[in-house]
């Protein structure tokens, strides 16, 4: 056994979130500007390089691998990569292989993902109103996403819906979303909007709906019981006693989760970000590409990056201004 990855604050790093592309077939207003400039394809790591990178992390103790984007399923040949990761599930080194998706391509890929070992999947969905969905995603089609959810459930995957809480947009749909997820036996997690990237004319403060307010509204209709369980990520969970369903809250603004952070993010170009809410990153590409037959330099570069992981982020809206804002878009880092 190699020495595990431990950051300067004695947190074990066991969770890697890998962005396989910065491209997406939606343009969600809190995530991207409408006219995005994407990376030239030649700058992206190849699928073989992504395999080697992830395999090195797994060899250093990463047990959970989440594939993100952009929209990961728009990457050409992506199932080749998922199928390659299956060997780590088979060996027991990797405990979970999963992804976060907008659902647009799931109708096509759900069965193949199940065959590759994906058992849980997160689907980003912020409204059940078709017109509002088209508005917030700019390019999206709600029926296409619903068919993707159908396909994922038919394949056998456990589906969790991720909903970004947006004031003046989906606050009126709170109970509709909860009851819809209950009717389909899906978990639901709400996420506070984070200050990531220039999104054009949208205003972060206008969008921001603190989950403390959302939770208080839920408590008016349901009995909420706090749960101790974690799914390996930042969400805190409650059970709605009247329905038995589990609701998650990801609250980087009102209650950060940095003390238990066990994850790092790797971009499709080989940059490692050890904190979503800090600009600091290290480029792992030289260690990967300059030593094609030797993983030792890559392992050393990974350990050096983990050794610089900060204690936490600085996101803050409390003074009616956006503090701790990141220049990069969420789609660049991979959520």
Q: Which residues are annotated as a binding site for GTP?
A: 17, 66, 100, 160, 263-265
Angle among Cα 273, 8, 254 to the nearest 5 degrees reads 65
Can you name the residues that pair with 68 across neighbouring β-strands? 19
Q: At what angle do helices 106-115 and 78-91 cross, to 10 degrees?
A: 30
Binding residues for [4Fe-4S] cluster: 24, 28, 31, 258, 261, 275
Can you name the residues that pair with 224 across neighbouring β-strands? 240
Binding residues: 17, 24, 28, 30-31, 66, 70, 100, 124, 160, 194, 258, 261, 263-265, 275
**3-class DSSP assignment, residue 209:** coil
φ, ψ of residue 16 to 5 degrees: the values are: -115, 130
**What is the spatial distance between Cα 51 and Cα 30, in angstroms, rounded to a whole number?**
30
Strands, E, within the chain: which ranges?
15-19, 64-68, 96-101, 120-124, 158-165, 187-192, 224-227, 236-240, 246-250, 263-266, 271-273, 281-283
**What is the spatial distance between Cα 256 and Cα 228, in angstroms, rounded to a whole number?**
16
3-state secondary structure 230-247: CCCCCCEEEEECCCCCEE
Binding residues for S-adenosyl-L-methionine: 30, 70, 124, 194
Structure tokens at 168: 């003046």
End-to-end CA distance of the chain: 30
Q: Are strands 246-250 and 236-240 parallel, antiparallel or unpaired?
A: antiparallel
Please check whether residue 265 is in contact with residue 207, taking contact to mean a CB–CB distance below 8 angstroms.
Answer: no
**What is the spatial distance between Cα 331 and Cα 211, in angstroms, rounded to a whole number?**
23
């Amino acid at each position: 056994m190699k020495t595990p990855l431990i950051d300067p604050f004695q947190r074990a790093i066991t969770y890697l979130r890998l962005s396989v592309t910065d491209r997406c077939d939606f343009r969600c207003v809190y995530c991207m500007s409408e006219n995005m400039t994407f990376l030239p394809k030649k700058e992206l790591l190849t699928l073989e390089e992504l395999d080697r990178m992830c395999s090195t992390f797994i060899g250093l103790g990463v047990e959970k691998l989440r594939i993100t984007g952009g929209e990961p399923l728009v990457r050409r040949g992506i199932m080749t990569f998922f199928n390659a990761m299956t060997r780590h599930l088979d060996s027991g080194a990797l405990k979970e292989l999963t992804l976060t998706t907008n659902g647009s391509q799931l109708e096509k890929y759900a069965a193949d993902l199940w065959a590759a070992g994906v058992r849980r999947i997160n689907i980003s969905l912020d409204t059940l109103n078709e017109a509002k969905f088209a508005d917030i995603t700019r390019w999206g089609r709600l029926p296409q996403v619903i068919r993707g959810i159908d396909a994922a459930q038919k394949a056998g995957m456990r589906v969790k819906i991720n909903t970004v809480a947006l004031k003046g947009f989906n606050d009126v749909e709170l109970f509709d979303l909860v009851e819809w997820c209950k009717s389909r036996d899906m978990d639901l997690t709400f996420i506070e909007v984070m200050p990531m990237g220039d999104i054009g004319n949208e205003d972060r403060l206008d969008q921001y709906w603190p989950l403390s307010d959302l939770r208080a509204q839920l408590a008016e209709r349901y009995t909420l019981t706090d749960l101790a369980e974690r799914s390996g990520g930042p969400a805190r969970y409650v059970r709605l006693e009247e329905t038995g369903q589990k609701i998650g809250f990801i609250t980087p603004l009102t209650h950060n989760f940095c003390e238990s952070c066990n994850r790092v993010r790797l971009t499709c170009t080989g940059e490692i970000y050890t904190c979503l809410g800090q600009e600091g990153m290290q480029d792992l590409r030289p260690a990967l590409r300059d030593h094609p037959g030797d993983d030792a330099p890559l392992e050393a570069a990974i350990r050096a990056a983990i050794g610089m992981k900060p204690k936490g982020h600085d996101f803050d809206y409390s003074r009616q201004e956006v503090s701790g804002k990141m220049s990069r878009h969420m789609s660049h880092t991979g959520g």
